Amino acid sequence: MDAQGWPFLVARGRRRGYSVLLAPPPLMSSYGLLEDVARPTSGIAVATVRGLCVVWSEHAVTPDDIGAEPRDEHSRPLRLLHGFVTEQTVTAPSEVDMSRSLTAALDTYRRFLDDEERFTVERSASFPAHSDIGSPAAIGKPDPRPRRYTVPALAAGAVLVGAVIFATSGNDPEPPKTPSCPTTTAPTTHTPVKPTTTTGKPATTSLQPSCT
């Protein structure tokens, strides 16, 4: 059986904040999950939630998309988070699937802008998915960390670890040096009394300490 994809849309309007505007039937009762999963991204992102694979991208709205200036009441540019949901694990998203999801999202978005206050979430229709798929998504094992297909390079932690090891190795304190024996006679400030021997001759004394 071919994999099926359901488009979805998370976006804000000129006055209303971000919310789910288009949801797949499997998530109609809990479509708020899409707001938690779909986040701004610079490429195509993929995540798994409740046994479903969520694929999405960010799109800057153009005047041709809505036939009007694509800005909100505060002059901020309007942006969409659109994509599709499938019961299979997507290993390589297809541009065809992303284009179909954008077309469906823009149709819903134009209706939303016509009456933001009274707009309710629309149910999306499925389409045959062209993306490369793997095994069915892991049911009951949501992955809150999406994998993106435009991932920036991360700094290698090994460099820091190596620096710490280098800084702490080979720096044991040197043992105290044994003081060298003095080579000169210590000065005195008085004249020592020269003791006499039993023979009556003065005994010799040395002011230099013994070095044993």
Average pLDDT over residues 48-66: 95
pLDDT top residue among 52 and 158: 52
Residue 169 has pLDDT above 60, yes or no: no
Contacts 24+ apart (CB under 8 A), 103-109: 104/7, 104/9, 104/22, 105/7, 105/8, 105/9, 105/11, 105/21, 105/22, 105/59, 105/80, 106/65, 106/66, 106/80, 108/9, 108/21, 108/22, 109/9, 109/11, 109/21, 109/61, 109/65, 109/66, 109/80
Tell me the per-residue pLDDT of 93-116, one tens digit each, with 9 for 90 and over: 999 999 999 999 999 999 999 999
Total-model pTM: 0.64
Summary mean pLDDT of the chain: 76
